[in-house]
Amino acid sequence: MTASSYDVAVVGGGPGGSSTATFLANGGLRVALFEREVFPRFHVGESLMPAVMLLLEQLGAREAVERAGFQVKYGAMFVDEETELSQTFYFLPGQPWPDYSYQVPRADFDTMLLDHARARGVTVYQPATVETAGIDAAGVTVTAATAEAPVVVRARMLVDASGRDGFLASRTGRRARIPNLGKVALFSHFRGADRLTGKEEGNIRIYVFDAGWFWWIPLAGDLTSIGAVVHAKTVRAWTGSPEELYADMIRRCKSVAAGLAHAQRVTPVHRAANFSYANSPVIGDRFVAVGDAIMFVDPIFSGGVYIAMRSGQLAAEAILQAFRDGRFQASRFAAYERRVRRGVAPLFRFIHKYYEPAFFDLFMHPRNYLGVYTAVLNVLSGGSFIKMTWRTRLSLAIFFGLARVHTWLRRRAGLPIESRLEW
Ligand SMILES: Cc1cc2nc3c(=O)[nH]c(=O)nc-3n(C[C@H](O)[C@H](O)[C@H](O)COP(=O)(O)OP(=O)(O)OC[C@H]3O[C@@H](n4cnc5c(N)ncnc54)[C@H](O)[C@@H]3O)c2cc1C
């Protein structure tokens, strides 16, 4: 069998894979992308950060997304069911990204991005499941199973954008679970759920309750995505079906139950377990990983799609440079890996801290003391992965410092301080 020849082979056609492929094709490389599923296909992860809009612009796909009729999202509402405290954050104007984003059925959004990659010249094999990728000194040989004969492709670089499958890590590396984030998500779509009006209509809502938290994502066309993120021990203790557990969680979270009182579930209940992990290696001779193939930490701040697309952009920059220099050793991609880790660090710190009552308290009572509020919104919009000014860093340091003082005050007052991650 003769192998077709490309510059880069990409495994996976989610937002990470299609963005990397488009940026590479825009840079003049010949790219082959393999996607296992027929699109449109269901995927979790529907709420986008505003900085996604900047990437869509740079990809040349923003106009098409703006015209697609997705639900606009201007902010996020956090509700503590225990204290009935609620706080809405609106994305700030005057940033390098707009003050809004979209809530998207991923089936449609991912199809648009993959079609856009095709339109930019990427060769898409679909449905085609990559089974082997042999890396040698001169390049990589990729074999994919399709409905007809297997496809063999020869390329000079490989991009692993296979998402949670972690194509390379599961074959040649390892996956480390992240302690205490062993949660289970149960989710589906409803029709006829309560709807806010005006600017609030598209806000994502996060309801924190005793067994975990819910996302409430209003989609266009009267659809609402409702997801329960439940502590693993609640799931272990449950003897019924996942559907019954999901219904029970809805009953236990009164705001969600009230909002769904007249709604109908219109999709099956999907399940994702133990979704927090870090894969290795992230780079190597002639390969880089992007998006969920690197790691995934927790969806509380809706960062996954943005991280996948932004890491795709940075990976493409590193690969284009490697082609210019004609050198593809792992050391060429070390700066890419550092950049990704630095970019996601503030967001991951927020995610871990979010579960601490002292931090959550401050988060729910925001004040723009020394730019703290602006800095928090910068991170929640995806800005920490673009450029962190010294002012933003300082404001975040102040915020985390205040959280430490608050923990100390709570301890003295005999209030709970342990992370909700330990529940
Ligand atoms: C419970 C939960 C809620 C979430 N909520 C949000 C949210 O609100 N907002 C947000 O931004 N993110 C959210 N995320 C995260 C988001 O879903 C992911 O971060 C995002 O999809 C990552 O994109 P990706 O391109 O890296 O991977 P994916 O989107 O998973 O794409 C990988 C693709 O690779 C294909 N593939 C895999 N193996 C092969 C193979 N061997 N050959 C060919 N193709 C292959 C798969 O079919 C898939 O289409 C959530 C995640 C979870 C678990």
Pick left, alpha or beta for residue 28 (phi over 0 → left; psi -120 to 50 → alpha; otherwise beta): left
201 lines ligand 1 (CB under 6 A): no
Q: Which of 70, 123, 165, 178 to mutate to test the pocket of ligand 1 (most atoms within 8 A of CB)?
A: 165
Determine the average pLDDT of the residues in 76-83: 90
Determine the average pLDDT of the residues in 203-218: 94
**Best CA proximity match to 129, nearest among 99, 159, 162:** 162
CA–centroid distance, residue 320 to ligand 1 (Å): 24
232 vs 124, higher pLDDT: 124
CA–centroid distance, residue 401 to ligand 1 (Å): 34
* Model pLDDT, residue 421: 58
Residue 179 in this model has a pLDDT that exceeds 80: no
Number of neighbours of residue 5 by Cβ within 10 angstroms: 12
Residue 423 in this model has a pLDDT that exceeds 60: no
130 lines ligand 1 (CB under 6 A): yes
Rounded mean pLDDT of the chain? 92
Burial of 301 (0-12, 13-18, 19+ CB in 10 A): buried
* Model pLDDT, residue 6: 98
296 lines ligand 1 (CB under 6 A): yes
* Model pLDDT, residue 350: 82
Q: Which residue has the tokens 């272990």?
A: 236
Q: Which residues of 160-169 are buried (b: 16+ CB within 10 A; e: fewer)?
A: bbbbbbbbbb
* Model pLDDT, residue 301: 86
51 lines ligand 1 (CB under 6 A): no
Determine the average pLDDT of the residues in 99-124: 98
From CA 272, how far away is CA 174, in angstroms rounded? 20
**Residues 125-137 pLDDT 10s:** 999 999 999 999 9
* Model pLDDT, residue 361: 81
272 lines ligand 1 (CB under 6 A): yes
What's the start-to-end Cα distance of the chain, in Å?
Answer: 56
Determine the average pLDDT of the residues in 271-286: 90
Range with top average pLDDT, 323-332, 344-353, 373-382: 323-332
103 lines ligand 1 (CB under 6 A): no
**Domain ranges for the chain:** 4-70+105-177+277-341, 183-273, 356-422
From CA 174, how far away is CA 196, in angstroms rounded? 44
145 lines ligand 1 (CB under 6 A): no
Residue 2 in this model has a pLDDT that exceeds 70: no
Residue 76 in this model has a pLDDT that exceeds 90: yes
218 vs 420, higher pLDDT: 218
CA–centroid distance, residue 165 to ligand 1 (Å): 9
* Model pLDDT, residue 73: 97
Residue 85 in this model has a pLDDT that exceeds 70: yes
Identify whether the C-beta of residue 107 lies closer than 8 Å to the C-beta of residue 94.
Answer: no
From CA 302, how far away is CA 380, in angstroms rounded? 8
298 vs 253, higher pLDDT: 253
Residue 96: cis peptide before it, omega within 30 degrees of 0: no
Residue 422 in this model has a pLDDT that exceeds 80: no
* Model pLDDT, residue 180: 63
Same CATH fold, 183-273 and 4-70+105-177+277-341?
no
Structural tokens at position 251: 């009953």
Query: Domain 4-70+105-177+277-341 falls in which CATH fold?
Result: FAD/NAD(P)-binding domain (3.50.50)
Determine the average pLDDT of the residues in 400-416: 86
Coil, strand or helix at 253? coil
CA–centroid distance, residue 145 to ligand 1 (Å): 21
* Model pLDDT, residue 393: 86
User: Looking at the domain that runs over 183-273, which CATH code has it been given?
Assistant: 3.30.9.100
Identify whether the C-beta of residue 32 lies closer than 8 Å to the C-beta of residue 9.
Answer: yes
From CA 55, how far away is CA 74, in angstroms rounded? 18
From CA 362, how far away is CA 403, in angstroms rounded? 7
* Model pLDDT, residue 404: 87
Percentage of residues of the chain with pLDDT beyond 70: 98
Residue 354 in this model has a pLDDT that exceeds 90: no
Q: Which of 10, 36, 49, 313 to mutate to test the pocket of ligand 1 (most atoms within 8 A of CB)?
A: 36
**Best CA proximity match to 184, nearest among 283, 293, 271, 261:** 271
Q: Which of 142, 164, 305, 314 to mutate to test the pocket of ligand 1 (most atoms within 8 A of CB)?
A: 305
Residue 211 in this model has a pLDDT that exceeds 80: yes
234 vs 130, higher pLDDT: 130
* Model pLDDT, residue 171: 92
- Residue 182 pLDDT level (bands cut at 50, 70, 90): low
Name the residue with the closest Cα to ligand 1, atom 29: 14
- Residue 420 pLDDT level (bands cut at 50, 70, 90): low
